[in-house]
Amino acid sequence: MDLSIVIPFYNEQDSLRELVEKIYEIVVPLQYSFEIIFIDDGSTDESFPRLMEAKANHSEIKIIRFRKNFGKSTALSEGFKRAKGEIVITMDADLQDDPGEIPNLIKALENYDLVSGWKKKRHDPITKTIPSKFFNFITRILTGIKIHDFNCGLKAYRKEVIKAIPVYGELHRYLPVLAHWQGFNVGEIAVKHHPRKFGKTKFGARRFLSGFFDLLSVLFITRYRQKPMHLFGLFGLINIMVGFAILLYLTILWFQGIGIGRRPLLFLGILLVIVGAQSFSLGLIGDMLISTRDTRPKFAVKEVIE
Ligand code: UDP
Ligand code: MG
């Protein structure tokens, strides 16, 4: 199979039929063998029956139906698990992403392993675009990946990439980071973006808080997944050392006959040593956990020459 298009949706009844038609208009002339995998993320509206109608005369459509709403990341990872195409394209179901960009994404994939869309001219409310710019900026700096729009729904992947990256929680926002960490080449192209035509966004203001937590998790799992001791151990060691120095100083004073029982510094010293020891043991436990399971990147090897 050449191409899998993976589309998660949650209550998008009014967009689905138009979306299917548009995708066929674009993809059929490419003469690829393809499949369209829709993931119904627990929709409670008419999305599912409408999609079933569309499936009746479009045999390339496959539908994965969730028992309840599990979120976009889970939907994507189920889609990835089942995708058979050498190239995998993801897009949103709300018609904000333009299927017309599919050929451009495929073209750009010649030079990359993952190509992300960049909603250069974005049609979303300003309450969403400004925080998003900020997040993208921070992510760009912290990860060193030079793309503008990490969380664009429209992306193209080579098969190895989707089989290698773990998408859980709400990590779909940082897929390029997860791919980059495994050594895949990440690029981007500017894509057309449309205002939402039907329904409303599924991510409210909470998106910013979860986006922040997810950034922390993604940084942690990409940098320290295989060596938690390097993070917790370092933090613990610094705390213990500073605490120890403080206590040593106070001990010397005490030997000189100066009372130290009421010094706030004493409490700070004790606190630092305790917090440090805890962080240190967290690092040890982390390392113990990893030693019992294989967390090596699945596709670390690009080729073997003998
Ligand atoms: N979506 C989903 N499960 C969810 C939330 C969203 O499958 O729990 C889908 C949604 O139907 C759409 C895509 O993810 O196809 C992007 O969602 P949305 O358009 O609401 O996000 P926004 O464009 O506002 O960032
Ligand atoms: Mg949208």
Please give the average pLDDT of every successive group of 10 residues along the chain, which has 306 residues. 97 97 97 97 96 96 96 95 97 97 97 97 90 92 94 96 86 93 95 94 86 89 90 97 98 96 95 98 94 80 87
pLDDT at 53: 96
Calpha distance 64→69 (Å, rounded): 12
- Label residue 60 left, alpha or beta by phi (over 0 means left) and psi (-120 to 50 means alpha): alpha
User: If you measure from the C-alpha of residue 228 to the centroid of ligand 1, how many angstroms do you get, rounded to a whole number?
Assistant: 33
pLDDT at 127: 87
Assigned token pair, 185 = 């080449």
pLDDT at 270: 97
User: If you measure from the C-alpha of residue 305 to the centroid of ligand 1, how many angstroms do you get, rounded to a whole number?
Assistant: 43
Calpha distance 25→13 (Å, rounded): 20
Q: Is there an atom of ligand 1 within 6 Å of 42 CB?
A: no
pLDDT at 274: 98
pLDDT at 222: 86
Contact residues for 157 (Cβ-Cβ < 8 A; gap 6+): 87, 88, 89, 90, 109, 113, 114, 115, 179
Mutate to test the pocket of ligand 1, among 43, 198, 203 (most ligand atoms within 8 A of CB): 203
User: If you measure from the C-alpha of residue 55 to the centroid of ligand 1, how many angstroms do you get, rounded to a whole number?
Assistant: 21
Sequence spans of domains, the chain: 3-224, 228-293
User: From the alpha carbon of 69, which atom of ligand 1 is closest?
Assistant: 8
What does the buried/exposed string (b/e) look like for 2-11 if buried means 16 or more CB atoms within 10 Å of the residue's CB?
Answer: ebbbbbbbbb
CATH superfamily of 3-224: Spore Coat Polysaccharide Biosynthesis Protein SpsA; Chain A (3.90.550.10)
3-state secondary structure of 183: coil
3-state secondary structure of 92: coil
Calpha distance 300→164 (Å, rounded): 9
For residue 235, how far is the Cα from the chain centroid? 26
